[in-house]
Structure 1
Amino acid sequence: MPSTTLDPLLQPFELKHLTLRNRVVSTSHEPAFGEDGMPKDRYRAYHVEKARGGVGLTMIGGSAVVSPDSPPAFGNLLLYRDDIVPWLRRLTDDVHEAGAAVMCQVTHLGRRTSNYAGDWLPLVAASPLREPAHRSFPKAAEPWDLDRIVADYVAAALRCRAGGLDGIELEAYGHFLDSFLSPATNHRDDELGGSLENRMAFPRRVIRAVREAVGPDFVVGIRMSLDEALPGGLTFDEARVAAERFSSDGIDFISAIRGSIESDASLAKTIPSIGTPLGPYLDFTGEIKRRLSIPVMHAARIADIATARHALREGLLDLVGMTRAQIADPYLVAKVKARQEDRIRPCVGASYCLDAIYDSGDTKCVHNPAAGRELHVPHLIPATTGRRKKAVVVGGGPAGLEAARVLGERGHDVVLFEASDQPGGQIKLAASNPRRNDLIQIVDWRVAECKHLGTDLRLGTYAEADDVLAEHPDLVIIATGGMPDRGFLTKGEGLVADTWDVMTGSLRRPRGEVLVYDDHGGYPAMDAVELLTASPDVRIEYVTPERTLAPDVGSMNSPAYLRTFTAHGVTTTLAQRLRAVRRTLDGRLAATLYSEYTEAETERIVDHVIVEHGTLPNDELYAELLPGSTNLGEVDHRALLAHEQQTVVRNEDGRYQLFRIGDAVASRNIHAAIYDALRLCLPV
């Protein structure tokens, strides 16, 4: 039946024999939710949720591997095992039942993994060139390697077909296939190196073998870079020729990429993060679409509906990848269809979804803690079936706003007190870095949701105990955050500034020599350095006791900071701990640094010392309210982890439950604060 919608996002699309219900795709990515290399219950639930949310096509296996010598680098699925087929079948059946199509990305990682993982087999690539990102040295693939890898691709494709998938996508950027195609990685002097025809030969051999094995009706696409934007790399003209040849060999669609992923710097350009323009490669993709006869898919910071619609209306692509956007809100399409675009949880481009894989083992959205936790936490908060309660939330940062939102969705009567006239807490500080201003959308969305739900937001109101008690609450949640901790110094606490001073602007343009001491390892000190470099009369030294810069800032976000460090000549000192600061006779500051390795102290004479050592809880109100609470602040961890109601009673005379969340408990990150609020308030 022909579509009657004028919205290009919602129009169906014919991909070979397959009819997609709309043009929105969750492109291939690996959230590392597999178990034993299999897409078991957690993995399946993650993709089924997107199908329920309306996506046309969801793609699994962000690099599901075909061979044992392609060991998992980031939780990859193992397509070389027969026992994956039943798991694929369960996933595809459930996704199909929810109305979406599903495909799997298939690859041999080549050199883009670790020598020291899996079965410890030597890695292989077209040539023995080290890959910077994973620091691996591969061997040059021999003829027998190529024979077995072709057979492995065929076997993997057949397992995908047996698992009921609608198609597969071969991965050819940064992995084994394109190590032959790209002159930057193919230095061979045999029949597979040199000319473009020679460099195309092995990828074409794989494509033809896969097409012959799966038959003419099974969809086979390829995700490839059409311009590596790399000195000596694959150019647009060569890539276009290769794409045409691949199409003639049996490829049905191209997922177009611009750039390469061999280093952190190039990866951050290819998968653009916060502070970069939306849809930066759409015009490039449009040129590809004009030159090729097969459908073109593309995903690169298409984070909002307006950008996605523009891409489709202007004919720049056929299928629009909104992958990170649907990690933030898997019900994005459903909300568009229901004309509730204003209620879509925005993707802010933080790229925590990618960095968290290496930081903590799997994908996490910076402000949607239900992503990846679908088995236990709903994306759509159900209304309570119990008594409507009166809740008071104190603090309008991410934790407090999330608590108010969830309690409002549950149907409770919520009052939120926020001392500032603008909500946001420490997110306001982080967003004061212009490059990271999009973080404020985390706040804006929750404020809008609270207003939609009828929450009583009392901004510019410093809540004291009497104000809280005057509301006669059943439940009080303290989300008052923390304050910068300078108390780690043995001397000179009153002489130093902290990163909040920089972020608020009270110390935005200092002169002279500035020492920034980072004993946090995350974003605050890096943001402070980035803002300080705007002053032309400042010379900055970044000091940390860590053995590397900001270890909690991942590969997607670190390049922007490192670019600033390099461009402005910021010097770095590792493995030194700031102990004390004193005033010198000429009015400057002497900072005492200590090395645990040499057990020696040194001094820096500077004009300003700025420290970052996390926060200490703002818990005075919590302490004042404790005696009147039923639970005396206690959290039943068993109930919390089981997503059950808190029922602890320590004080029979208490009048309300009392809890604290976010940095009012301990210094942590945005995701932790929001997750605190969600799982505590969900069972209320």
Structure 2
Amino acid sequence: MTASNDPLLQPYQLKHLTLKNRIMSTAHEPAYSEEGMPTDRYRLYHLEKAKGGIALTMTAGSAVVSPDSPPAFGNLHAYRDEIVPWLKKLADDCHEYGTAVMIQLTHLGRRTGWNRGDWLPVLAPSPIREPAHRAFPKEAEEWDIERIVADYASAAQRMQAAGLDGIEFEAYGHLMDGFWSPATNRRDDEFGGSLENRMRFSTMVTEAVRKAVGPDFIVGIRLVADEDWEKGLSREEGVEIASRLARSGTIDFLNIIRGHIDHDASLNKVIPIQGMPASPHLDFAGEVRAATKFPVFHAARISDVATARHAIAEGKLDMVGMTRAHIADPHIVKKIMAGEEARIRPCVGATYCLDRIYEGGEALCIHNAATSREAEIPHDIAKAQLSRKAVVIGAGPAGLEAARVLAERGHKVEVLEATSQAGGQVNLLTRNPRRKEMVGIIDWRLSELERLGVNIHYDVYAGADDVLAFEPDLVIVATGGIAQSPELDAGEELVTSSWDILAGAIKPEGSVLLFDDNGGHQGMSAAEVIANAGAELELVSPERFFAPEMGGMNHVPYAKTFAERNVRVTINIRLKSVRRDGNSLVATLGSDFSETTATERRVSQVVVEHGTMANADLYLELKPMSRNLGAVNYDALIRRQPPLPVRNDEGRFDLIRIGDAVSSRNIHAAIYDALRYCSLL
């Protein structure tokens, strides 16, 4: 397919604005802001997508228009004049690459907390609590409505002054559609009851904004057209709202969403993660487009080019949002244009990005460590001045990323892998059928290494002699870790590791106690496999809630399985010891918070998850032969300067270890290790 006939590469005329292709990144808040401003990290993140050829990048998710809409996700402050020059620089930079820039504006309503920002009361159409953010809102008064309408208008004027191409109102789960939904609007005044009354606030906002910015500035709305909720906004009323907005003369496009987001389980259906159907609301968005005959945008796990192309070719959408896909690879369009679709780094649906945001962190891609670090680490790897011979030991995520980056730098790379298959611990986690997409992390790198001509030597349990036989200048130890048990008073030899369960080496049977004090996917995946095998399971954690290293988006499918399989979850309890009693095991449990008598559980199996112990034997064997004796200058590494000191003039090579070969962490940390080190070598 060529650029001339590819539906995705055709321009789209939105009012006076020509969008150069049909691919966009929809509004989301990556939490890169500083004091509510889109400073350099925020700007460079969007600029990278512009360099990658995207037609439209929508900033903020959402920028708040009033100080009594406290920033729940690191939101931009659209109510402050200081935001204008920051946004102008962002827009100007993206415009140089022909990319349009818009921003999403909102008042969060009840979807925030009162103990953030300026500690002003949270408000909503009616005083109904949102489970996700737990605030009890006050009912919006007349003077609240008047000032918020004015705040929307002045915020829109700031965005226009910044040179943005347009704005988008957020109307799902926030204040605007809070008035629309019967689930959140119980008012009996002019803002409640009939659909016309429930739309009154949004009509006031759109009319005030249109008056403030004039007829030519682009104004759209991201709206829920069906809350998929018995007590919420119906499909019929939602499509009617969309139709009324399309006819209003104040709105230029509709960005369609389906579902409600007041708690994690419902949010998961709006923003699906791995193991869930892809593009679940695409057909519905197409139906709204057909009903309204109006420009429609949409995004909800449209992560592959084929689906995006189908959405445009079949007339379901005018612009297709590939938002998480661009966090994984901001150069999607550039690769499509170059005929290199196969080289697009896939979004594997891990949703590490959103989980971090909802837990108070910033968005990071599980396997693109350059995203959000554009000021320090390039997405395109530059050639090194001098080509070196490198040996990488281990073909897990860290080792494969190290080999990829070194090869891109122009080094001659050999990879030694102890087993017959690349993947490392990813091969374990994909044994959980719901997480099989994670293999994309490995498959993409294997494809890149094939393109780069890197040799992988399988079934080589490398010793020092195997490494030295290649006469390397550089050695990267990415040997990972091995499962370890928590320290017990007795009975460590009686427990089973989560690895054994996931690998299928040991089948769950009878009653099982799983003790997880790692708090991530490893224990949860083992628990899910055990529960689905039909065993009676109790999940025990010493934490105050289970899986604290995993965010709410990924919590949902595990919690669903646990509820459906009657898994017992016990928190604030620690496994102390295990002993055998006949054909059973007796697990002794205690508390960190009390010295009272311990309790016991009689079970068939005790499974434990306690992270990994670094597999460091080869590193320690090679260390005295290396120039740097394994040492790293962290100050230089942080400053992006060559990080390896010379501590042994007789040394034959530089030596680094990365990933779990250092300590038990996660996939992102392993890949970040590889990228940050190897891009400097």
**Where on the TM-score scale, by shorter chain, does this alignment land: which range?**
over 0.9
Partner residue, 1:434: 433
Q: What one-letter code is carried by the residue in structure 2 that aligns with 1:420?
A: T
Partner residue, 1:320: 320
Task: Report if aligned partners of 2:73, 2:360 keep a CA contact under 8 Å in 1.
Answer: no
Tell me how far 1:646 sits from its aligned partner.
Answer: 2.5
1:592 matches 2:591: no
Task: Report if aligned partners of 1:65, 1:80 keep a CA contact under 8 Å in 2.
Answer: yes
Task: Report if aligned partners of 1:335, 1:344 keep a CA contact under 8 Å in 2.
Answer: yes
Task: Report if aligned partners of 1:207, 1:246 keep a CA contact under 8 Å in 2.
Answer: no
Q: How does 1:141-540 map to 2 (within 5 A)?
A: 141-249=140-248, 250-359=250-359, 361-384=361-384, 386-508=385-507, 510-536=508-534, 538-540=535-537
Q: Percent of counterpart pairs with the same letter? A: 58
Alignment TM-score, normalising by the size of structure 2? 0.99
Task: Report if aligned partners of 1:302, 1:321 keep a CA contact under 8 Å in 2.
Answer: yes
SS at match of 1:515: strand
Change (3 A) 1:487 1:564: closer
SS at match of 1:70: coil
1:612 matches 2:612: no
What is the distance in 1 between the residues matched to 2:358 and 2:14? Answer: 35
Tell me how far 1:374 sits from its aligned partner.
Answer: 0.6
What is the distance in 1 between the residues matched to 2:85 and 2:379? Answer: 27
Q: What stretches of structure 2 of length at least 5 have no aligned partner?
A: none
SS at match of 2:553: coil
Q: What one-letter code is carried by the residue in structure 2 that aligns with 1:591?
A: A
Tell me how far 1:532 sits from its aligned partner.
Answer: 1.1
1:632 matches 2:633: no
What is the distance in 2 between the residues matched to 1:468 and 1:489? Answer: 37
Change (3 A) 1:163 1:541: same
What is the distance in 1 between the residues matched to 2:16 and 2:486? Answer: 66
Residue deviations 1:607-626, cap 9 Å, x none?
00000000000011111111
Partner residue, 2:72: 73
Partner residue, 1:673: 670
- Please identify, of 474-483 and 595-604, the stretch whose mean Cα deviation from structure 2 is larger: 595-604
What is the distance in 2 between the residues matched to 1:360 and 1:488? Answer: 31
Tell me how far 1:507 sits from its aligned partner.
Answer: 1.9
What is the distance in 2 between the residues matched to 1:420 and 1:284? Answer: 46
SS at match of 1:627: helix
Task: Report if aligned partners of 1:643, 1:682 keep a CA contact under 8 Å in 2.
Answer: no
- Please identify, of 485-494 and 619-628, the stretch whose mean Cα deviation from structure 2 is larger: 485-494
SS at match of 1:569: coil
What is the distance in 2 between the residues matched to 1:563 and 1:402? Answer: 34
- Please identify, of 226-235 and 100-109, the stretch whose mean Cα deviation from structure 2 is larger: 226-235
What is the distance in 2 between the residues matched to 1:459 and 1:208? Answer: 66
What is the distance in 1 between the residues matched to 2:395 and 2:518? Answer: 23
SS at match of 1:208: helix
Task: Report if aligned partners of 2:3, 2:337 keep a CA contact under 8 Å in 1.
Answer: no
Tell me how far 1:360 sits from its aligned partner.
Answer: 5.8
Residue correspondences, number: 678
Q: What one-letter code is carried by the residue in structure 1 that aligns with 2:530?
A: L
Partner residue, 2:578: 581
Tell me how far 1:598 sits from its aligned partner.
Answer: 2.1
Q: What stretches of structure 1 of length at least 5 have no aligned partner?
A: none
- Please identify, of 246-255 and 101-110, the stretch whose mean Cα deviation from structure 2 is larger: 246-255
Tell me how far 1:487 sits from its aligned partner.
Answer: 5.0
SS at match of 2:532: coil
- Please identify, of 100-109 and 272-281, the stretch whose mean Cα deviation from structure 2 is larger: 272-281
Tell me how far 1:663 sits from its aligned partner.
Answer: 0.3
Residue deviations 1:414-449, cap 9 Å, x none?
000011111111111111110000000000001111
Over the aligned positions, Cα root-mean-square deviation in angstroms equals: 1.0
Runs of 4+ in 1 over 3 A off after TM superposition: none
Partner residue, 1:658: 655
Residue deviations 1:460-481, cap 9 Å, x none?
2211110000000001111000
What is the distance in 1 between the residues matched to 2:101 and 2:66? Answer: 22
Task: Report if aligned partners of 2:129, 2:135 keep a CA contact under 8 Å in 1.
Answer: yes
Partner residue, 2:26: 27
Tell me how far 1:512 sits from its aligned partner.
Answer: 1.0
Tell me how far 1:529 sits from its aligned partner.
Answer: 1.0
Tell me how far 1:310 sits from its aligned partner.
Answer: 1.1
Task: Report if aligned partners of 2:532, 2:565 keep a CA contact under 8 Å in 1.
Answer: no
Tell me how far 1:516 sits from its aligned partner.
Answer: 0.4
Q: What one-letter code is carried by the residue in structure 1 that aligns with 2:584?
A: R
What is the distance in 1 between the residues matched to 2:171 and 2:371? Answer: 28
Residue deviations 1:482-506, cap 9 Å, x none?
0111151221111110100011001
- Please identify, of 598-607 and 659-668, the stretch whose mean Cα deviation from structure 2 is larger: 598-607
Q: What one-letter code is carried by the residue in structure 1 that aligns with 2:201?
A: F
What is the distance in 1 between the residues matched to 2:566 and 2:678? Answer: 47
Tell me how far 1:241 sits from its aligned partner.
Answer: 1.3
Change (3 A) 1:487 1:259: closer
What is the distance in 1 between the residues matched to 2:636 and 2:370? Answer: 18
Partner residue, 2:36: 37
What is the distance in 2 between the residues matched to 1:263 and 1:275? Answer: 19
Residue deviations 1:354-377, cap 9 Å, x none?
111244621100000111011111
Tell me how far 1:67 sits from its aligned partner.
Answer: 0.2
What is the distance in 2 between the residues matched to 1:132 and 1:359? Answer: 15
Q: What one-letter code is carried by the residue in structure 2 that aligns with 1:260?
A: H
Task: Report if aligned partners of 2:243, 2:291 keep a CA contact under 8 Å in 1.
Answer: no
Task: Report if aligned partners of 1:102, 1:165 keep a CA contact under 8 Å in 2.
Answer: yes
Residue deviations 1:166-216, cap 9 Å, x none?
000000000000110111100111111111111111111111111111111
Task: Report if aligned partners of 1:26, 1:59 keep a CA contact under 8 Å in 2.
Answer: yes
SS at match of 1:557: helix
Alignment TM-score, normalising by the size of structure 1? 0.98
Partner residue, 2:91: 92
SS at match of 1:227: coil
SS at match of 1:221: strand
SS at match of 2:392: strand
Q: What one-letter code is carried by the residue in structure 2 that aligns with 1:411?
A: G
1:134 matches 2:130: no
Tell me how far 1:155 sits from its aligned partner.
Answer: 0.3
Tell me how far 1:4 sits from its aligned partner.
Answer: 6.4
Partner residue, 1:642: 639
Residue deviations 1:573-610, cap 9 Å, x none?
111111111111x2210111111222231111100000
Task: Report if aligned partners of 1:52, 1:99 keep a CA contact under 8 Å in 2.
Answer: no
Partner residue, 2:620: 623
SS at match of 1:237: helix
